[in-house]
Amino acid sequence: MSTAATETRKTAFNTDWQQWHEAHEKLRSDPHGFLAVTELHWLTADATALAGAPGTWRVEDDAVHLTLESGISLLRDGAELNTPEGLNANGELVFGPIAERDGINLSYGDTVLELAKRGGEYVLRPRNPSNALLREYHGTPAYTPTLSFALAAQYVPFRRPRETTVGAAVEGIQHVYQAPGTVKFRIDGRELELTAFNGSAPGTFLVLFTDETSGDTTYVANRSLTFSAPEAGGAATLDFNRAVNLPCAYTDLATCPLPPAENHLPVAIAAGEKTPFEREAAK
């Protein structure tokens, strides 16, 4: 490849990465994104008033029961919920069952109430645009993108998907993922592999990993990389320039999964997002 062609390829690669990075930062800065989370409440069988949310909340028969005072407005998809028609015989709103890693959003004034299930337990997280973490957010540092970390890989499927249990950023819970296989690749002549999980979007896989930069220039607990799911035994591209931080890199009010033990790479992946300024300032 000629020098001019090489430079053209580099320019196109860098432009594409910059557009992706800006879009990712815009999504992260959403007024009701994870930077807006003000509380992390674990719900129990006892009816409890919770900071940042109206009423009292309890769990019964794998569903969340909410008792609101009359006149309190709570919306779901723009529709008012606190009406006589929306209440059960006990005057409660009932939500669920909710699937693991799934959730619903309820609007309460300027606040969005995220009701979800994590590690088999129900959680409620109010998200308010006035949260200081969001208001003071000025972007995430990242390595300058380089083609050398956009790596060719080979997907090796398991005979059948493996249920894989991993830890979490908060104590006491675990996450269970379906692992369809591994991806094998080479860095500096070394053959490495990562266990892949099904991604949140159809047709994608993700890998959770740490490497020799973790705890130094990148967040200590985890980073995530999403890529297009190849056919069985097919080729894939792992562009580590697009490795991103999970919410737990920014806030302790997150329940992020940790990588499986085998997903520590014994090399420095000097690509992708670095430790957030917020974590560095807290050291």
Tens digits of per-residue pLDDT, 149-199?
999 999 999 999 999 999 999 988 999 999 999 999 999 899 999 999 999
Strands 190-198 and 204-209: antiparallel
Residue 248 phi/psi, 5-degree rounding, is -65, -15
pLDDT greater at residue 143 or residue 231: 143
Q: Which helix (H) or strand (E) holds 200?
A: none
User: What was the pLDDT predicted at 276?
Assistant: 95
User: What was the pLDDT predicted at 1?
Assistant: 63
Q: Does the pLDDT at position 230 exceed 90?
A: no
Q: Does the pLDDT at position 282 exceed 70?
A: no
Q: Report residue 211's pLDDT band, with 50, 70 and 90 as the boundaries.
A: very high
Q: Average pLDDT over the chain, rounded to whole?
A: 94
Look up tokens 């309190």; give the residue: 72
CB-CB contact of 199 with 259 (8 Å): no
The domain ranges of the chain are 34-135, 138-282
pTM metric for this prediction: 0.91
Strands 103-108 and 150-166: unpaired
Q: What is the pLDDT of residues 77-122, one digit of tens each?
A: 999 999 999 999 999 999 999 999 899 999 999 999 999 999 999 9
Q: Which helix (H) or strand (E) holds 157?
A: strand 150-166
**Single-letter amino acid code for the residue at 80:** E
pLDDT greater at residue 7 or residue 29: 29
The Cα 60–Cα 126 span in angstroms is 21
* Chain length of the chain: 283
The Cα 115–Cα 104 span in angstroms is 5
CA 73 to centroid of chain Cα atoms: 29
CA 204-210-266 angle, to 5 degrees, is 115
User: What was the pLDDT predicted at 280?
Assistant: 67
Residue 267 phi/psi, 5-degree rounding, is -140, 165
**% residues pLDDT > 70 (the chain):** 98
Q: Report residue 281's pLDDT band, with 50, 70 and 90 as the boundaries.
A: low
CB-CB contact of 247 with 30 (8 Å): no
